[in-house]
Amino acid sequence: MVEYDVNEVWEKIKEAVKKEINPSPTDISYNTWFESLVPLCFDDNDTLILKAFADFHRDIVINRYSLVILNAIRQLFSPHLSIKVILPDEVEKYKRFLKPKQDEKPEIVTQLNPKYTFETFVVGNNNRLAHAAALAVAETPPGERTYNPLFIYGGVGLGKTHLMHAIGHHVLKLYPGTKVMYVTSEIFTNELIAAIRDEKTDEFRLKYRNVDVLLIDDIQFLGGKERTQEEFFHTFNTLYEANKKIILSSDRPPKEINTLEDRLRSRFEWGLITDIQPPDFETRIAILSKKCQLEGTPVPQHILEFIASKIETNIRELEGALNKILAYSKLMAPDKEITLDLAEKALKEFIDTNTKKELTIEDIQAEVASYFGIRLEDFKSSRRSRNVAFPRQIAMYLARELTNVSLPKIGEAFGGKDHTTVLHACEKIKELINTDSNTKNTVETIKKRLIHRE
């Protein structure tokens, strides 16, 4: 039987697998399925035992990652080693191989990203309130209620997930033994489906209602899923009544998730709702400087300013641009300082906007309909209910802002509306942008999606 430290072995395997498949930072499949595996022990047959959180998770790991994991462990350690992926209800069989410390650790269903902490989060005017609220929630002792639930919303790649992981890390640091669970709404839904199929809903409920801190990312994807919303409604109530912490994230505020049941929407508004806006120029430079510092890779200040001037909305894209420049530099000029010319070549697709297809009203209607969860034909209908009228006004406003189409033509594209109707809609949305932060965030989010579409 091997005498390797199972956690050290797993960390080295993860590094080897990352080099082999080279996942992007936003690779949902890799982050959801591979990163959530839990190394348990080696058995007496020199087999590394890994735990998946459900049978569908195990199947995906076996089909997608088992071969690359097996190659890594055999190349790094011994050709005689093998792997096995088990389910939570099989752990008892391997209990005698577990080290006491491993057995005592609070279980985190989806492992927290070690890079996502409060120490690595760059605070700016765009996220100061969200950061302060997240820190306050994390520092509140178990059993006490502060901003519960905490609801963080904002566009893609602005740091919502980073803050959620940071809360989890900070809670475990301050209050060891706390049961912390971080999942995406996709995982929650998939586990519920599996539990219903396998008649294990009691185990599912016990798992989610027996935690001290529940963090659910991208909660907007529960919209339209009636059974999942029903289950989460009761889970929310159980945790809330027991003074357990609930932290949720979304790309929009609760009242704009139209396919969400009213009873859930109202509960999401019980605590504190805070948003994260796109970072300003100075914050973008600070984010890039922090990343360089953490990576131990110096980059000239004027290069950071160049990147910050070209990537204005998305932190993931911002860091991705820096990574691309560093990789390009290593390949093309490994012994030279990064120059502006090299940076421009590396980021050609980011700054060459002339190749993008011109926006049409149909593009705008499709994006707005997707955001609000309505049908395209609703834009041309005469319905005046807010859940249709408000998205229609936003679509008209964006059509005027982002295209050169005349007001009468815009009205025609919206079911033959008069040009004065279009003008009224544009003026109303413009006024709301100046007076209502939720509307401003919604319009900016949709606009960014349109501008950065494929």
Q: What is the pLDDT of residues 340-388, one digit of tens each?
A: 888 888 887 666 543 445 789 999 999 999 898 888 888 988 888 888 9
In the chain, CATH 1.10.8.60 covers 288-355
The tokens describing 55, both together, are 């049978």
Confidence (pTM): 0.58
- Evaluated on CA atoms 27, 32, 38, 42, the torsion sign reads negative
Place of tokens 């509307």: 439
How many alpha carbons fall within 13 Å on the CB side of residue 105? 15
Instruction: Say which CATH class 288-355 falls into.
Output: mainly alpha
Q: Report the range out of 240-244, 309-313, 331-335 with the highest average pLDDT.
A: 240-244
Is 157 annotated for ligand binding?
yes
Is 201 annotated for ligand binding?
no
In the chain, CATH 3.40.50.300 covers 118-275
Confidence of residue 105 (pLDDT cuts 50, 70, 90): very low
Rg for the chain (alpha carbons), in Å?
24
Q: Which of 403, 261, 30, 331 is nearest to 413 (CA)?
A: 403
In the chain, CATH 3.30.300.180 covers 6-98
Q: How many CB atoms lie within 10 A of CB 68?
A: 14
Is 339 annotated for ligand binding?
no
Is 159 annotated for ligand binding?
yes
Mean pLDDT on 419-441: 90
Contact 449, 368 (CB under 8 A): no
Q: Which of 97, 125, 216 is nearest to 167 (CA)?
A: 216
* CATH architecture assignment, domain 6-98: 2-Layer Sandwich (3.30)
- Under CATH, which number does the domain 118-275 receive? 3.40.50.300
pLDDT tens digits for 195-231? 888 888 888 888 888 888 999 999 998 888 889 999 9
Mean pLDDT on 426-451: 88
pLDDT tens digits for 290-309? 888 888 888 889 889 888 88
DSSP state of 220: G
In CATH, which superfamily holds the domain spanning 361-452?
A: DnaA protein, C-terminal DNA-binding domain (1.10.1750.10)
DSSP state of 111: P
Of 34-38, 309-313, 318-322, 353-357, the range with the lowest mean pLDDT is 353-357
Estimate to the nearest angstrom the gap between the alpha carbon of 171 and the chain centroid: 20
Alpha carbon distance 216, 194 (integer Å): 18
Does the structure show a pLDDT above 50 at 102? Answer: no
In the chain, CATH 1.10.1750.10 covers 361-452
Q: Which of 140, 139, 138 is nearest to 182 (CA)?
A: 138
